[in-house]
Structure 1
Amino acid sequence: MRPAEKVWAAAQFEQSAKLQARLHDLVPGGAHTYARGSDQYPEFITPILTRGAGARVWDVDGNEYVEYGMGLRSVTLGHGFAPVVDAVAATIADGVNFSRPTELELAAAEDFLDLVPGADMVKFAKNGSDATTAAIKLARAVTGRIRVALCEQPFFSTDDWFIGTTPMNGGIPDSAGAGTVRFGYNDLDSVAAALAGDDVAAVIMEAATATAEPAPGFLAGVRELCDRHGTLLIFDEMITGFRWSAHGAQHVYGVRPDLSTWGKAMANGFPLSALAGRREYMELGGLRTDRPRVFLLSTTHGPETASLAAFRAVVDEYRSGDPVGRMEHAGRRLADGVTAAVSAAGLDGHLRVIGRPSCLVFVTGDRGGAPSQAYRTLFLQELLRRGVLGQSFVTSAAHTDADIDLTVAAVRDALPVYRQAIDAGSVAGLLQGRPVAPAIRRSAHPRGV
C-alpha cells in the first residue's frame, strides 16, 4: 500500500482537537497568527504540531505529514537545518542580548548589504510589519507627504495604515485608511492616476507574487512614475527575498527601489526582518543628519544573537549551495505530477497548480470552475487525511523526490472524492464541517467557535 492510500479517521486527530479547543480558551483565535488559525483548515482536522525535520512534521497524535508553506514561507532550507541549528547553538552559549551592539550585528549587516547591492544601509527588526511601517514613516518624512499608494496585493502590515483599509478594521480610526490610494498590479495607468496629484509619499508593492509576474516594462514604468512625481518606491521582499533569489526580486527584475523590506526566510524560521535602502534616506534615522530625526526602528530584540547567527548561516548556504534551484526543482516536479493526475481524473479547469516553481499555490473550482472555499476545504481535508499538510504547494530546498512522490500520490488518491463533489455539484456529505474562510474578515462568521 502506498503511504498516500492510507486515509486517517477522525479519531486519529483526537489529541489535536482537544488541544485546539484549549488554545481557543487561552489564545484569541486559537493561534498567535491569523494565517495559522483553525478557521484556515478543515474544521475537524486541525493538527497541533510537535516537531519537524526537513520537509516533514509530526502532530500530537503521531501523524506524519509532508509540509508545504513551511512556516508561512519562512523556512526555505528545511526544519532543523543542521548548519543553522549549530550556528545558533554555538552563538547563544555566549549570550543572546546585550546593552551595546555586538560584532555579530556588523557582520550580519555586511552580509546583507553584500547580497542586496541596491541597498546602502540596513536596520534589523523582528517582524515584517515593523519593517514596512518604518519604510512608510521614512517615506513620509523624506517627502513631507502623508498619502500612500498600495498595490492591490493581500498583505503589507498589521499596523493601522494598512489594516485600516481592510474589512478587519475594528479599533482603528477611520482616518488611518483615509491616506491611502490603491492601484492595480501590471496596470501602469492606475499607478499614474494614483500619483497624479503629486501628494503620495510612497508606492509600496511586491515586485511579483505567487500568482503574478510583472509584465514587460511594468516595474520600470513604476520606477519612472515615482521619480517623476517625487514618490519613494518601496518593494516588499518578505516573500520574494530568498525565494525568488537571495538578492531579492529587485535583482531578478533589474529595478532598484528606494527602500525594501525583508523577513520570513532571512533566518530559516528564526525571527528576523529588515528595512534596507538608499543612504540619503536611511540616515534620517541616524546621527549623521541635520534634518529632524525619524524614529525608524528601535527594538530590544531586533539584534539578538540567535537570529543573526541563523541569518549568517542561511547566507552561507545560499552562497555555497543552490537552495532556490532545489525549491524550483521540487516545485516543477510537483506541478507536473499534480497536473497530470488532475488531467487523468478529468478535472482540468476545476483544480490547478499555478505560480512560480518556488512559490506554488493550488486553485480549487466548483462545478462551474468558479473559485470555491468549500471545494478548497474538501481538497485540504483529503490531503490531510493522506499525510500532506499545507494551504499551498510552496516548497523548500528540503523537499525530496520522495516527498513529492508521496504528495502526488496523495493528490491522485484524493481526486475521486473531488470528482464526486464536482459530479454532485456540492461538497455536502463529503466535507466534514464548515468551509475555511478568509483570515482577514469583519466577523468570526462563518467559522466562529
Structure 2
Amino acid sequence: MDTEHPEDTAEFRLSRSRAANERLHALIPGGAHTYAKGDDQYPEHLAPVISHGRGAHVWDIDGNRYLEYGSGLRSVSLGHAHPRVTEAVRREISRGSNFVRPSVVEVEAAERFLATVPTAEMVKFAKNGSDVTTAAVRLARAATGRPRVALCADHPFFSTDDWFIGTTPMSAGVPAATAGLTVTFPYGDLAATEELLTRYPDEIACLILEPAARTEPPPGYLAGLRHLADRYGCVLVFDEMITGFRWSEAGAQGLYGVVPDLSTFGKALGNGFAVSALAGRRALMERGGLRHSGDRVFLLSTTHGAETHSLAAAMAVQATYTEEGVTARLHALGERLAAGVRDAAARTGVGDHLLVRGRASNLVFATLDENRQPSQPYRTLFLRRLLAGGVLAPSFVVSSALGEADIDRTIEVVAQACAVYRKALDAADPTPWLAGRPVKPVFRRRA
C-alpha cells in the first residue's frame, strides 16, 4: 500500500494508531483531552494518532499522510508549524516564559489585540475559551446583579463550566439549581428573545451567542439584539471563538458593525498555541481591575494566562492576518472547496444527501440518509472513504496552508466517497460499508 495516499479501505489499516488508542484510553478518560478529538468521533479502528504536522498536512504514527481540515478544532488556521509564528514563540521561550510580575510582552500583546479589534477598549488574556466565556458571564452577573444567563440554543458549545454543561446531555455532576439559572433563546428570532426577557424580568444578566455560525445573521438581527440588551438592561456577549479572524480580523463584530458589551476570542488567535481573550467596554472590564470604587470582581487570574510565548504567537498571528490578507484567502479556498464538493455530490447522485454548509471560511458537511434525515452511519461511511483517500476531515474548515492542488485532490477523494455513498443509498443500508459501529455525537448521556 502507498502510505502517502492510502486508497483501499479493505487494505487501509492503522495498527499502530489502534494500539496507541488503547494506551490513551488506559491512561486518559475518553482517550483524548478534548471530547471532539475522541476515537468515537471516527470510524471504528480508523482513528489516526498523529505523529506530526506541517502546513496543511499531518502524518500518523502508521506513516500515513493526510490533508487535514478543521485543524486543531479550527485553531490552526495558518497551518502547522507556521514559520512566522514558531519563530516568534522560539524567540520568547529563550527569554523566559513566566515571571512574578507582568512582562512587557503583555502590554504589547494587548496593544496589538485592541488595534486589531478596535471595537473593544480593554482585554485580558487567558488560556482557553471556557476561561473567558465564564469570566464574561461572571462579569455580567456582577454588573447587573442578576442571576440568570441566556444562551443561544442553536450554538453547540460555550464552556466546560457548569452554567453551560448543565444544559447538555452530559450534565452529570452539575447541580440542578445551577443548571436552572441558564435559559435559552433561538438564533435569529428577536421576538422569542424578547419574550424570554419579559418572562424573567430583571433576572437575565446577559445574552451570549456566536454572532454567526452556519448561516449569516438575518438582516437587522444583531442590531436587534443590541437594542434588546440595552432596553432590558442586560449585557450582550459575542462568543467569537470561531468567527474571530475567520470572519474578519476584527471578528464578526467588525464585519457586521454591531458592537457587543463583551466578546471572547480564542482558537485562531494563537494558531494552536494556548491563548484566549476577553475583551469589551472599559466600564465593564475595569470592574475586574483596581481603578474603581465598587465591589471587586474576580474576573480572570490564571498563572499561565500571560505566558510570553503564547502572547508572542498571538501577535504573530494577528500581524500575518492583517499583512497577508489571510481571511480573504480562507474564503477563497473555502469557496473553491464548497463548489467542488457540491459538484462531485451532484454528479454522483448524492447532492441531496451530502450537504456543505456554513461560511466559506468555516465549512461543515451534513450526511443524510435515504429519507434525507441526518445520519451517523452515513457520516461513518463518508469519513472512512475520506481517510482511505488521505483526507482527514471531520469538517471542511480550511487553513490558509492549503493550496489549490490540495483542494482539487480533496474534491477527487470526495467524488470517490460519493460513489460509494450512492451505492449505500441504493441499498438503503450503509452497514456493509461501515466495518464497525457508527461514529457518535459528542454530547450524549451514555458512553
TM superposition shift of 1:301: 0.3
TM superposition shift of 1:405: 1.1
TM superposition shift of 1:99: 0.5
TM superposition shift of 1:7: 2.2
TM superposition shift of 1:36: 0.2
Does the 8 Å contact 1:4/1:406 carry over to 2? no
> Secondary structure, in 3 states, of the residue corresponding to 1:137?
helix
Structure 1 gap segments, 5+ residues each:
445-449
> Secondary structure, in 3 states, of the residue corresponding to 2:206?
strand
Structure 2 gap segments, 5+ residues each:
none
Does the 8 Å contact 1:10/1:44 carry over to 2? no
Correspondence list, 1:175-190, <5 A: 175-190=177-192
TM superposition shift of 1:164: 0.8
1:432 match: 435
Q: Distance in 2 between matches of 1:163 and 1:11?
A: 37
Q: Distance in 2 between matches of 1:242 and 1:233?
A: 20
TM superposition shift of 1:198: 2.8
TM-score for the superposition, normalised by structure 2: 0.97
User: Given residue 75 of structure 2, which amino acid in structure 1 is its aligned partner?
Assistant: S
- Runs of at least 4 residues off by over 2 Å: 1-12
Are positions 1:355 and 2:351 aligned together?
no
Correspondence list, 1:395-434, <5 A: 395-434=398-437
Q: Distance in 2 between matches of 1:305 and 1:443?
A: 41
How many residue pairs are counted as aligned between the two chains? 443
2:53 match: 52
2:307 match: 304
1:31 match: 32
Does the 8 Å contact 2:9/2:384 carry over to 1? no
CA separation of 1:418 and 1:100: change in aligned 2, threshold 3 A:
same
1:335 match: 338
Are positions 1:203 and 2:204 aligned together?
no
Q: Distance in 2 between matches of 1:224 and 1:194?
A: 15
TM superposition shift of 1:12: 3.1
RMSD of the TM alignment (CA)? 1.3
> Secondary structure, in 3 states, of the residue corresponding to 2:52?
strand
Correspondence list, 1:1-40, <5 A: 6-9=7-10, 12-40=13-41
Q: Distance in 2 between matches of 1:165 and 1:411?
A: 35
Q: Distance in 1 between matches of 2:11 and 2:197?
A: 54
Q: Distance in 1 between matches of 2:378 and 2:16?
A: 26
Does the 8 Å contact 2:211/2:217 carry over to 1? yes
Provide, for residues 163-213 of structure 1, a one-character-per-residue CA deviation record: whole Å limited to 9, x for no partner: 01111011110111111111100001111011112321000000001x121
Q: Distance in 1 between matches of 2:11 and 2:119?
A: 52
Does the 8 Å contact 1:4/1:409 carry over to 2? no
Does the 8 Å contact 2:79/2:399 carry over to 1? yes
Q: Distance in 2 between matches of 1:18 and 1:53?
A: 24
Q: Distance in 1 between matches of 2:32 and 2:264?
A: 25
TM superposition shift of 1:11: 5.6
1:447 match: none
1:169 match: 171
Correspondence list, 1:59-78, <5 A: 59-78=60-79
The percent identity for this pair of structures is 56
TM superposition shift of 1:317: 0.5
1:160 match: 162
Q: Distance in 2 between matches of 1:397 and 1:200?
A: 40
> Secondary structure, in 3 states, of the residue corresponding to 1:12?
coil
Correspondence list, 1:367-378, <5 A: 367-378=370-381
> Secondary structure, in 3 states, of the residue corresponding to 1:150?
strand
Correspondence list, 1:228-243, <5 A: 228-243=231-246
User: Given residue 122 of structure 2, which amino acid in structure 1 is its aligned partner?
Assistant: M
Q: Distance in 2 between matches of 1:5 and 1:101?
A: 50
2:290 match: 287
> Secondary structure, in 3 states, of the residue corresponding to 1:327?
helix
> Secondary structure, in 3 states, of the residue corresponding to 1:107?
helix
TM superposition shift of 1:5: 7.7
Q: Distance in 2 between matches of 1:165 and 1:215?
A: 26
Q: Distance in 2 between matches of 1:390 and 1:347?
A: 18
Q: Distance in 2 between matches of 1:8 and 1:22?
A: 24
Q: Distance in 2 between matches of 1:279 and 1:354?
A: 37
